[in-house]
Structure 1
Amino acid sequence: MATSLDSIAAASLRLDPSPEAPVSFEAFDLPTGNQRLLGPPHAAGTVTPLALRATTASGGREISLDAAIESVKHLQAQGGLLTQRLSQHGTLLFRGLPIHDALDFSRFAHAFGYRPHEIIGIVVNRPELAPNVALANEAPKEVLIYSHNESPQVPHAPEYIFFYGHQVPSRGGESPVSSSLELFRRAREEVPELVDALAAKGVRSRVVYKPHPQYAGGSTLLQAFGKDVVEGVDDEAERRRKMEAQIARYGRGKHTAWEWTDDDGALVVTHHLPAIRTQPGTGLPTLFTGLAAYHRSAQVNGGSRANATKITYGDGTPIPDEYLEKLAQITDEIRVLHKWERGDVLVYDNVIAQHGRQPWEGAQEDRVILASLFDGEIPGAYGDQDWAQVVQALP
């Protein structure tokens, strides 16, 4: 088993797809606060995000989207070179591409060759705008969405996340970038009791879905599990049967349970999940979680958002607040805040990198970030308990 990630010299990096490909990608430096050197277990000199700018062989400035897509496909055909960079840096930034709308973004994201991810049990409202593209989050601009891995509260999470900056605010609205590998290493050193408990017990995620959104930007029960429900045709029994069939697709057996609350028509789904997983290819442990995010959200946002999802240790006992606060403090120390420029594309390896959203000044519509989620090689288990095994959702 490998114990570190291979290092590359980002300052001199140039990704040349092939002599036939029209576009290359060159690394460039970002301002302090937007990019940092990663700590162990990453190799010395590894930065996040790795910032890449498209260039042409002739040095011309005009780059077509078709040419950029062709070059991405060439790079991925060479043993998945961009995927390799993601596994080393956690996050890639592409800047200066001619991406102007949801369809352009969809075409670029699909060029990487990953399988589109189907969200089962979505907790936020994400209306689709183009193939496998939706608004990232509709929460009000004042709401802090703290650093987290995508979908840690459900069994089936995406492996890759693409974000596109369609409209960016002048102040605030940054997207955090940090390493889940580094978070695990720091947590094991500074709060070992938490890591030991998570390894032994996992976490219990209790998610409440209601017929109506529980907070601004939240999803409905029908959005979460109702893909096969026929409105106006299915009676209540059939609606519930179809929704329960979607839950069964998680493939977690006894580690996923649910109950209906007849007083308000809500569905409560409980999962026993691993908060520690391992990176494919290296076997390195990664803290795949939203624990610090739930803790910070309860402190800053409060209200109904804090009631929709409850996370405890896997045996149902509470996780001490001082552990969660320490996890958030470490996260603050190891993350950078990406300052968006219009047209930026951030790509996260969701297994080893965390993201989020800072509040911003101005109008709600000043920040429009689109998202596209994809599946890849699933992370490995940390330990031999059956609940620690991660699986893909059933067809």
Structure 2
Amino acid sequence: MNDDAGDALWAPAEITPAATGAEASTRGLVEYLGSVPDLGALLTAEKALVFRGFRVDPAGLNEALNLLLPRRLAYVHGNSPRTKVGANVYTSTEYPAEYAISMHNEMSYAHQWPARLLFFCETAPQSGGATPVIDGVHWLACLDAEVREAFRSGVRYTQNLHGGLGLGKSWQSTFETEDREQVETFLNDSGATWQWLQDGGLRISQVRPAVIRHPVTGDEVWFNQADQWHPAALGDDTSAALAAIMPAEELPQSVSFADGSPIPDAYAVQVRDRGLANAVDVDWCAGDLLLIDNVLVGHGRRPFTGPRRVLVAMSD
């Protein structure tokens, strides 16, 4: 690890009924949130907040969400598999339980990303299943200087979205519409380049930053999903299997440096491994919530056993 990373790990601030004098219930949390003079300032200062022990129930979740995420966003142009379960409320990424999900900032590949994410644990897993979080300043610092410098010019993300049958997500699911004109308007506004394919699919390419500064604090943070879009970070066997099926440019998603040059496998693996190694786990009990600043903090998922249902919502 780079010496610049430092020794102390940041962790989210934990807010409990005992610490706030609130009732251990959904109503108690709602009343506490109503008493906070500036939740946005508190979140920026702490980077992430865990509301633990309030035993929030699914029926009352919407009332808490209205205070925590006053302008909930749809998951339009989102690349991970989810199920919409309410008014801009989704399941967390649906990915096999035995695998970790590497650290990332939600939709950092898009031209607009959510400022806040909120996770709600409806069903806690039997074991494992924590949501690891990492301070983006620390993540950037713990990478080798060579890797940090290589990413300074940004990255190019490429998506191949099928038209209803194929590997990965469809464009209809990704954009939550069947209307091609609506998709074209969205993409034109985003600055992406795109083309409809003869098989009914859609190819999208967009150059985005790899490192950005937080709009309030000015902190420089690692902010991209290059490792998740890179075949090498999927593991040797998976990478080899995909390479045998189709060329990189035809994969559901792929990534290069902004100028189109390839990102070395070792860089993608270093980003993935150091992110996970330097993260702090937020373990779940049913009824807990986790609110994060999506620019200052990356998140992921640890493997788990037993049923696990964590919902997610986001806002600007």
Distance 1:310 1:135, change over 3 A: same
Distance 1:92 1:214, change over 3 A: farther
Point out 4+ residue stretches in structure 1 off by more than 4 angstroms: 39-42, 300-304
Cα deviation digits, residues 335-376 of structure 1 (max 9, x gap): 1222211111111111011111122223xxx0111001111x
2-side partners of 1:164 and 1:124: how far apart?
18
CA contact (8 A) 2:135 2:296 kept: yes
2-side partners of 1:207 and 1:109: how far apart?
31
CA offset at residue 287 of structure 1?
0.7
Q: Which has the larger radius of gyration?
A: 1
1:276 lines up with 2:211 in the alignment: yes
CA contact (8 A) 1:144 1:297 kept: no
1:260 lines up with 2:221 in the alignment: no
Matched residue SS, 1:277: strand
CA offset at residue 249 of structure 1?
3.5
Matched residue SS, 2:255: strand
Partner in structure 2 of residue 202 of structure 1: 154
2-side partners of 1:325 and 1:116: how far apart?
33
2-side partners of 1:164 and 1:171: how far apart?
17
CA contact (8 A) 1:146 1:297 kept: no
Partner in structure 2 of residue 221 of structure 1: 171
The farther-off stretch of 204-213 and 172-181 is: 204-213
CA offset at residue 98 of structure 1?
3.3
Residue type of the alignment partner of 2:132: P
Matched residue SS, 2:50: strand
1-side partners of 2:146 and 2:301: how far apart?
29
Distance 1:139 1:41, change over 3 A: closer
Matched residue SS, 2:285: coil
Matched residue SS, 1:70: helix
Cα deviation digits, residues 244-302 of structure 1 (max 9, x gap): 1222242x3xxx1001220x211011111111110122211111112333457421765
Residue type of the alignment partner of 2:120: Y
List gaps (5 residues or longer) in structure 1. 1-38, 230-238, 376-395
Matched residue SS, 2:63: helix
Residue type of the alignment partner of 2:266: E
Matched residue SS, 2:132: strand
Within 5 A, what are the aligned runs for 1:1-395? 47-55=10-18, 62-75=23-36, 78=37, 80=38, 82-101=39-58, 103-112=59-68, 114-187=70-143, 191-199=144-152, 201-212=153-164, 219-227=169-177, 229=178, 239-250=179-190, 252=191, 256-262=192-198, 264-295=199-230, 297-299=233-235, 302=239, 307-362=251-306, 366-375=307-316
2-side partners of 1:118 and 1:292: how far apart?
24
CA offset at residue 118 of structure 1?
3.0
The farther-off stretch of 64-73 and 88-97 is: 64-73
Distance 1:45 1:333, change over 3 A: closer
Cα deviation digits, residues 315-337 of structure 1 (max 9, x gap): 00011222223323432332122
CA offset at residue 226 of structure 1?
4.8
Distance 1:294 1:358, change over 3 A: farther
Q: TM-score, normalised by structure 1?
A: 0.69
1-side partners of 2:5 and 2:222: how far apart?
13
Matched residue SS, 1:151: coil
CA contact (8 A) 1:146 1:357 kept: yes
2-side partners of 1:288 and 1:104: how far apart?
33
CA offset at residue 135 of structure 1?
0.8
Partner in structure 2 of residue 12 of structure 1: none
Distance 1:106 1:297, change over 3 A: farther
Residue type of the alignment partner of 1:193: E
Distance 1:352 1:280, change over 3 A: same
Q: TM-score, normalised by structure 2?
A: 0.85
Count of aligned residue pairs for this structure pair: 305
